[in-house]
Amino acid sequence: MASRKNIYFYYHKNTGLENKLERLFELALKNDFTIVDEPKDANIIVSVGGDGAFLQAVRKTGFRQDCLYTGITYSDEAGLYCDFNLDTFDDMLFAMEHEAMEVRRFPLIDVQVNGNTSFHCLNEVSVRSTIIKSIVINVYIDDKHFEAFRGDGLVVATPTGSTGYSKSTHGAVIDPLIPCFQVSELASLNNNRYRTLGSSFVLSQDRKLRLEIVQDGNDHPIVGLDNEAYSIRNIQDINVTLSDKVIKTVKLKNNSYWDRVKRTFL
């Protein structure tokens, strides 16, 4: 870990939290780590505040491919992206110093809106109606029409994102070692006139998903990118593919993804 000594802390600044973080800063300095003010100067980016803060840290620092991310929760929180909490920060430093950790790689999805604006997502992209009316979306897989969805919207999740919004729609929890992404429905209409698959489905890393928004008055839906809303009028289509980029995170050797799923949900 000698080459990874520059740490950037990402957190929402407030006096109470900064007082708690003083001990973390002291421990980092005591263990010969350097705290930097800019994420571009960091080898390690540490988020403080749970999974939401972790997603924001990754997004706000540009989905860095040349550094490690790790997350710290508050003492009474569990986190699927976070191996540590405020009471065990010294365990993280010890793990880095003594190689008692592994690097976990989380897949991203690439999202392109209207053929020209591109984004990465670590959790999911969601498309939802903004008015009290169902949204109609033509779903294409590898440029072949699959279904005409009518309902509240669709969620396209990464494997790690499968434990979030996607799970709340009865999607499957997917092992992040499987290179894929999952599509889940939000309150689909299924009757004699309208018909969709009615369940989540999983696409492999080589598939391309295209969502065409039918322009019937619902042509500027809410598009959620992880935990941020993207606002644009006249959204015509959204293309989703599995990215060739990954987010590298610090993982304790005795704390697997499924350990954390069990701790969070069971």
Digit-coded pLDDT (tens) for 159-188: 999 999 999 999 999 999 999 999 999 999
Domains of the chain, by residue range, sit at: 6-99, 108-244
Instruction: Please tell me the pTM assigned to this model.
Output: 0.91
What contacts 24+ positions apart, CB below 8 Å, involve 170-179? 170/199, 170/200, 171/200, 172/200, 172/202, 173/261, 174/202, 175/257, 175/258, 176/104, 176/105, 176/106, 176/107, 176/257, 179/107, 179/204, 179/205, 179/242
Q: Considering 32, 37, 41, 51, which one is annotated as catalytic?
A: 51
What is the rounded CA–CA span in Å between residue 240 and residue 113? 9
Active site residue 51: yes
CB 179 within 8 A of CB 154: no
Q: What does residue 170 show for φ and ψ, rounded to 5 degrees? A: 75, 25
What are residue 45's DSSP bridge partners?
Answer: 8, 69
Digit-coded pLDDT (tens) for 142-166: 999 999 999 999 999 999 999 999 9
Pick the CATH number of 108-244 from 3.40.50.300, 1.10.230.10, 2.60.200.30, 3.40.50.620: 2.60.200.30
pLDDT at 252 over 90: no
Digit-coded pLDDT (tens) for 191-246: 888 889 999 999 999 999 999 999 887 767 889 999 898 877 788 999 999 999 99
What is the 8-class DSSP label of residue 48?
Answer: E
Q: Which fold is adopted by the domain 6-99?
A: Rossmann fold (3.40.50)
